[in-house]
Structure 1
């Protein structure tokens, strides 16, 4: 039986806590050294990751089917941003009460409480995060504008290389990184508060996923004049399939089959479902916003609306075409966490651990919501078809 990423992360957290309680400092410093090297490598690869994901994502979207593409992308983006705002409002309202007296702000700098590495190797990134983002937008939009198949193929091949680095290097080493972080934090006496926060945040995120799916299908049901809960029930096989696969892309066949049962024009689903699998990440956005605010709360750091709104708006773009591997969305978002929210290596590691422990639920929310957007697009497309028929007559 395959030992998936989630069980490995959970095992790494448990072992990290147990080892951190009993291991001597020199032993824990070995993993602190690994964490430093791994964190430096992440810093190096992030700009390349941003370029590898965003350029082919925007370039490929620009080669779609005109008005249907535009409407689908616009609705998906609005849905993703709405999910992020819901998570922000909920976290802003609830965290001061449900996470009261559990922050780690007594550590002016959390890094000072942790054991240091034996040595460090600098791995300077080729460019800054914002430079990578701007370059990605310029190249991606340019590819879409000039319809260059060659540049699109080159960017897709580059994305496949970055995908391979994530799948074969970063993801396999991630549990070791998480183990080292938790062993070090346990040694520093910080882990009790962190685990308590994990449980409460996890419960809040799952509830938010369910609430947002109900909102999505209430809108879709009103457009289609159908019972939203009946539509949700129809899409439930996609939800449970995604729980197991942890990948929107791997769940496309099931999502497509179920989506065709909630619409009238099946060809609409043939276009929207594969597209939405890469551009609609409402569940992942809820998770990323909730987890990032929990980590910021944990460190005694503020999260004003003026700070979080640009982060949410950029998330909707940056996660386009995130790789179809578990944890892909959080890997794509690391650059934003560091550049826009000021996350350091320890905060980033906590964020990754928080995110991956419920990654399958975020993916399930993503793909189930795709059915709601497909239903809305079905209605829009039918209206356009009827208008064209009347014009022809």
Structure 2
């Protein structure tokens, strides 16, 4: 939760700076924003490559049928949640953004230094490479390559936790300083405030749907199933990490009468492959940013359908750290939706502002999936 407060301070500082600050100081923060944004673009392919390759390779150690059922159920849950978010957002967001201004237009101020760090590979190349080598390692049992991807994952996770996450408040301050200098910041904040509330309500709606389905299939009371998962939900709000919440999630899932061996297998696996709450937020925020940005394409079902399917794949092994899901999703937003630097920065700010609720939805939804897998495995 400390990160959220730091981001809020960054937003406030950026707005005040952009409105009344001296020009050289505004340009300084814009320079930091540009340099850091370039670094994020450089690291995105590595996030996709190492996390997905390591995650897919690790699946080879477990029962193939059980892994297939769990991964398939988690993927279906994630993409359905994405389409639900799209329908809600595409219905409501146009009314919010009618007079919302533009987030894509930068201020007239230029950075002192504009250094572009070119990524070593494209996003799609990284994704295909990750699945090819991940599946290959899982099939061949290649220990050396598995260790290579695991160590690469550890390095990238360290970059996220030690460099990217701590620097985010300064990055966000630069973005909002530029928006304030350009004059569109308050209209943008008004729209995003409503979007965050809408995303949380959609999270709750999706959880109810998941547990109604789980209750009907297993003939258990959905309300009791949800009640038993509340400790995991509130723990995730505090930790902002699916991985850190695993012990509490395990206890809650077992309270729902899921067999111990299924829970011990399913909960850690779902913590890295089932991110329906995160996808809900990403889709809704992306539609809001696109609606406010004349440079970006209009958010349509045809445009978003492949994006949602791709987000489901990207989430297979998103980093289990605060903000990990949006970091992994940036590649999709840039390559498939054409998000520019301003749009990416606002997406990060929006996502991080509700990351705790998205994570809570992820881990609580894991409970519904494990109830279903326990039922199917028994048959």
Whether the TM-score (by the shorter chain) exceeds 0.5 is yes
Alpha-carbon distance between aligned partners in 1 of 2:302 and 2:55, rounded to the nearest angstrom? 27
Q: 1:87 aligns with which of 85, 88, 94?
A: 85
Offset of residue 266 of structure 1: 2.2
Secondary structure of the corresponding residue to residue 127 of structure 1: coil
Q: 1:283 maps to which residue?
A: 277
Q: 2:255 maps to which residue?
A: 261
Alpha-carbon distance between aligned partners in 2 of 1:129 and 1:114, rounded to the nearest angstrom? 31
Secondary structure of the corresponding residue to residue 17 of structure 2: helix
CA contact 2:38–2:116 (8 Å) conserved in 1: yes
Indicate whether 1:346 and 2:320 are aligned.
no
Secondary structure of the corresponding residue to residue 276 of structure 1: helix
Aligned residue runs from structure 1 range 190-201, under 5 A = 190-201=184-195
Aligned residue runs from structure 1 range 8-47, under 5 A = 8-47=6-45
Q: 2:306 aligns with which of 284, 304, 310?
A: 310
Deviations, residues 92-125 of structure 1 (Å, cap 9, x unaligned): 11112233321428xxx613x3521012222111
Alpha-carbon distance between aligned partners in 2 of 1:98 and 1:36, rounded to the nearest angstrom? 29
Secondary structure of the corresponding residue to residue 256 of structure 2: coil
Alpha-carbon distance between aligned partners in 2 of 1:173 and 1:162, rounded to the nearest angstrom? 15
Q: Normalising to structure 2: TM-score of the pair?
A: 0.97
Q: 1:120 aligns with which of 114, 130, 149?
A: 114
Stretches of structure 2 that go unaligned for 5 or more consecutive residues are none
Alpha-carbon distance between aligned partners in 2 of 1:185 and 1:5, rounded to the nearest angstrom? 22
Alpha-carbon distance between aligned partners in 2 of 1:321 and 1:207, rounded to the nearest angstrom? 26
Offset of residue 357 of structure 1: 0.3
Q: 2:327 maps to which residue?
A: 331
Query: Runs of 4+ in structure 1 displaced over 6 angstroms?
Result: none
CA contact 1:252–1:273 (8 Å) conserved in 2: yes
Alpha-carbon distance between aligned partners in 2 of 1:150 and 1:258, rounded to the nearest angstrom? 37
Offset of residue 137 of structure 1: 1.5
Indicate whether 1:293 and 2:287 are aligned.
yes
Deviations, residues 185-229 of structure 1 (Å, cap 9, x unaligned): 101101011110111101110110000000000000011111101
* Range with greater deviation from structure 2 (296-305 or 172-181): 296-305
Secondary structure of the corresponding residue to residue 283 of structure 2: helix
Indicate whether 1:227 and 2:221 are aligned.
yes
Alpha-carbon distance between aligned partners in 1 of 2:138 and 2:264, rounded to the nearest angstrom? 21
Deviations, residues 339-362 of structure 1 (Å, cap 9, x unaligned): 011001110000000000000000
Q: 1:97 aligns with which of 80, 95, 112?
A: 95
Q: 1:4 aligns with which of 2, 9, 14?
A: 2
Alpha-carbon distance between aligned partners in 2 of 1:32 and 1:75, rounded to the nearest angstrom? 43
Q: Which has the larger radius of gyration?
A: 1
Q: 2:237 maps to which residue?
A: 243
Alpha-carbon distance between aligned partners in 1 of 2:374 and 2:257, rounded to the nearest angstrom? 6
CA contact 2:83–2:308 (8 Å) conserved in 1: yes
Q: Normalising to structure 1: TM-score of the pair?
A: 0.93
Secondary structure of the corresponding residue to residue 224 of structure 2: helix
CA contact 1:12–1:175 (8 Å) conserved in 2: yes
Aligned residue runs from structure 1 range 157-172, under 5 A = 157-172=151-166
CA contact 1:103–1:297 (8 Å) conserved in 2: no
Q: 1:183 aligns with which of 165, 177, 192?
A: 177
CA contact 1:114–1:185 (8 Å) conserved in 2: no
Offset of residue 22 of structure 1: 0.7
Offset of residue 262 of structure 1: 1.0
Alpha-carbon distance between aligned partners in 1 of 2:75 and 2:342, rounded to the nearest angstrom? 30
Indicate whether 1:382 and 2:371 are aligned.
no
Q: 1:391 maps to which residue?
A: none
Q: 1:387 maps to which residue?
A: none
* Range with greater deviation from structure 2 (310-319 or 202-211): 310-319
Alpha-carbon distance between aligned partners in 1 of 2:322 and 2:361, rounded to the nearest angstrom? 14
Structure 1 pair 114–91 and aligned structure 2 pair: CA distance change class (3 A): farther
* Range with greater deviation from structure 2 (251-260 or 125-134): 125-134
Indicate whether 1:272 and 2:266 are aligned.
yes
Number of aligned residue pairs: give it. Answer: 377
Q: 1:389 maps to which residue?
A: none
